[in-house]
Amino acid sequence: MSKSAPLSSTTLQSTSAVIYCRVSSAAQMQKGHGLASQETRCREFARMKGYEVVQVFTDEAVSGGLINRPGMQAMLSFLRANRKCGGFVVLLDDISRIARSIQVHLELRSAIAETGARLESPSIEFGEDSDSILVENLLASVSQHQREKNAEQTRNRMRSRLMNGYWPFIACMGYRHVSKPGEGRVLVRDEPLASIIQEAMEGYACGRFRSQAEVARFLERHNAFPKSAGGKVRYQLANTILTKPLYAGYVENPDWGVELRKGKHEGLISFETFERIQKRLKEGSYAPMRADISEDFPLRGAVSCACCGKPLTACWSKSKTGARHPYYMCFAKGCERKGKAIRRDVIEGAFVDLLDGMTPRQNLFDLAHAMFKRAWSLRLDQARAMKLFNDNEVAKIDKQIGVMLDRIVDALSESVIAAYEKRIAELERGKLLLAERRANIGRPKRTFEEMFEHACSFLASPLNIWKNPNPVARKLVLKLAFAERLQYRRDTGFRTPKTTLPFKVLGDFLSGERMMAEREGFEPSIRFPVYTRSRRAP
């Protein structure tokens, strides 16, 4: 695209011309038979007419329905700047190159005429008489019809692909398109983004990440994940990932009337996990994770003051010598311990002792491991029995859908019809969930050892994980081990924590406060005398 600086009169010949070329897609540019062929044809036409071509303006991969095209605007600026030098001839390969919209065509035609230039083409003869204008308008209308028809056909083909379970749009983050014989372009996992997104979604579903902000921060920590300016991941992107059914292996497009259906690609998560995510999003998210949380104070936000119940804050304090010292303290108004600093090594040392006391003995842990494995086997047996139950539930849903469809036929109110359609969509969604459960019943993704390896290692020694300097691992210990904030008193230390269920069960075993039942049963062995009310003598 050339600049619009004015030319000297010696540069211009008796009849000077400019060429305008346009291609509407990147594919035409890559194949190399779009702009070059148009320019060659226009130069040949100019040579036949005796014109001197002084500039060539191009628009690459720009729709013909747009007015503000860079190449077209540059050409108009050039024509206005050189208007005093004489009229130019604007050469077009075809009338469709100027525009594929009758309205845009007329506006650009008028703008070119205002510069004193005239249009010429080897494909059509432009004129100012009524017949020429009629032919020109008819050809412009045909070009508009072709553009709209192409868009309509493309949309119909894309909708058909979508209805068959294929994703016809640009591949979403974590996927890429590959060509498969007999299927066309199909989505496949794009590593490592696929695994990163999978971990983020499963982490939010199970409560590892309590908010969309924590999901965004998790994504930021991976160098392979694309980020916006400043190296940040926007919360809106995290929300888009969490709410897109494509990652569960399903496709939909309500605007095109394509309801949710199983896709031909592999999902990063199960549909059940996706539904759990949507439920958590509807219930409302927690407050975003504080931006000022520092790795220097891992217990910040997880420990509260035992006097007032408010979370302890943390800070660095500078002494007279200029040395900096870390402290935890309470700043709640009215608290008797307000402003009383607690040295970081004291409170974190007490927390290490607390975790060490939660570590079960090896024989007890082996027993718990065997119990979990036994429960795993029992659940597999129960899962196989659930197939019949799911089949019955699917049959019930089909019956309900049939009833709703009959009611829609008889309904006259638009609001009632809309309510029935919404209910049918909910039933279809539940049907898909049951179908997925039935397909996965009795078929665990991994063995017991693979599924519980990390969980068992965590239960065996949460202290070892806490000693890991990784802040994510430390936050995970706090979430998985304790059901509520820990309470700390400056003079007595931590109060008895409320632990999560696995540690509560193991803690009950460790406490040793257990007695064998007496041999005579659960009733006390001491016989208490039975008193009866004596009757008075008559």
Local confidence pLDDT in tens for the 538 residues of the chain: 445 555 544 444 458 899 998 887 766 555 555 788 888 889 999 998 888 888 899 888 776 667 788 888 888 888 888 877 667 888 988 887 877 778 888 888 888 888 888 888 888 888 777 877 888 788 888 888 887 888 888 888 999 999 999 999 989 899 999 998 888 899 999 988 999 999 999 888 887 787 888 888 888 888 888 888 777 888 888 889 999 999 999 998 888 888 888 889 988 998 888 888 988 888 765 444 444 445 778 888 888 888 888 888 888 888 888 888 888 888 888 888 888 888 888 888 888 888 887 776 666 667 666 777 777 677 666 666 666 677 777 778 888 888 888 888 778 788 888 887 788 887 877 777 777 766 666 566 666 666 666 666 677 777 877 887 777 777 778 877 888 888 888 888 888 888 877 777 666 555 555 554 555 554 554 444 444 444 444 4
Contact indicator for 455, 465 with CB cutoff of 8 Å: no
The answer to whether residues 28 and 142 belong to one domain is yes
418 is a domain residue: yes
Range of the domain at 381: 362-452
- Three-state secondary-structure class, residue 177: strand
- Three-state secondary-structure class, residue 321: coil
The answer to whether residues 258 and 320 belong to one domain is no
* Residue 411 CA: distances (Å) to CA of 108, 407, 416, 418, 427: 52, 6, 7, 10, 19
412 is a domain residue: yes
222 is a domain residue: yes
Q: Domain holding 263: CATH number?
A: 3.90.1750.20
The answer to whether residues 121 and 183 belong to one domain is no
The answer to whether residues 89 and 179 belong to one domain is no
Contact indicator for 480, 209 with CB cutoff of 8 Å: no
What token pair was written down for 304? 């509260």
The three-state (H, E, C) secondary structure of 371-383, written as one string = HHHHHHHHHHHHH
The answer to whether residues 130 and 23 belong to one domain is yes
The three-state (H, E, C) secondary structure of 256-271, written as one string = HCEEEEECCCCCCCCH
The answer to whether residues 371 and 245 belong to one domain is no
119 is a domain residue: yes
The b-or-e profile of 265-282 (16+ CB within 10 A means b, else e) is bebbbbbebbbbbeebee
Closest alpha carbon to 15 in 53, 72, 45: 53
The answer to whether residues 199 and 242 belong to one domain is yes
| Cα 21 to Cα 69: distance, rounded to the nearest angstrom | 12
Angle at 282 between CA 281 and CA 288, to 5 degrees: 45
User: Given this model, what pLDDT does residue 68 score?
Assistant: 80
| Cα 226 to Cα 217: distance, rounded to the nearest angstrom | 13
The answer to whether residues 342 and 221 belong to one domain is no
What token pair was written down for 235? 């919360």
Which letter does DSSP use for residue 496 in this model?
P
509 is a domain residue: no
290 is a domain residue: no
The b-or-e profile of 347-367 (16+ CB within 10 A means b, else e) is bbeebeebbeebbbeeeebee
User: Given this model, what pLDDT does residue 365 score?
Assistant: 65
485 is a domain residue: no
What token pair was written down for 157? 């083909």
Contact indicator for 174, 194 with CB cutoff of 8 Å: yes
The answer to whether residues 277 and 190 belong to one domain is yes
Closest alpha carbon to 39 in 27, 23, 15, 63: 23
Cis bond before residue 192 (omega within 30° of 0): yes
The answer to whether residues 444 and 339 belong to one domain is no
* Residue 42 CA: distances (Å) to CA of 3, 64, 135: 20, 19, 21
Residue bearing tokens 């024989």: 363
User: Given this model, what pLDDT does residue 536 score?
Assistant: 44
The answer to whether residues 196 and 230 belong to one domain is yes
Contact indicator for 95, 123 with CB cutoff of 8 Å: yes
* Residue 74 CA: distances (Å) to CA of 69, 79, 106, 115, 185: 9, 9, 18, 13, 38
249 sits in the region (left: phi over 0; alpha: psi -120 to 50; else beta) called left
Q: Domain holding 29: CATH number?
A: 3.40.50.1390
198 is a domain residue: yes
pTM: predicted TM-score of the whole model, two decimal places: 0.55
The answer to whether residues 193 and 123 belong to one domain is no
Q: Which of 436, 452, 468 is the C-terminal boundary of a domain?
A: 452
Q: Which of 150, 166, 190 is the C-terminal boundary of a domain?
A: 150
User: Given this model, what pLDDT does residue 244 score?
Assistant: 92
Closest alpha carbon to 440 in 267, 280, 281, 188: 267
339 sits in the region (left: phi over 0; alpha: psi -120 to 50; else beta) called left
Closest alpha carbon to 401 in 438, 431, 432: 431
Contact indicator for 477, 462 with CB cutoff of 8 Å: yes
User: Given this model, what pLDDT does residue 197 score?
Assistant: 92
How many structural domains comprise the chain?
4
Q: Please, is 246 exposed, middle or buried when counting C-beta atoms within 10 Å of its C-beta (0-12, 13-18, 19+)?
A: buried
334 sits in the region (left: phi over 0; alpha: psi -120 to 50; else beta) called left
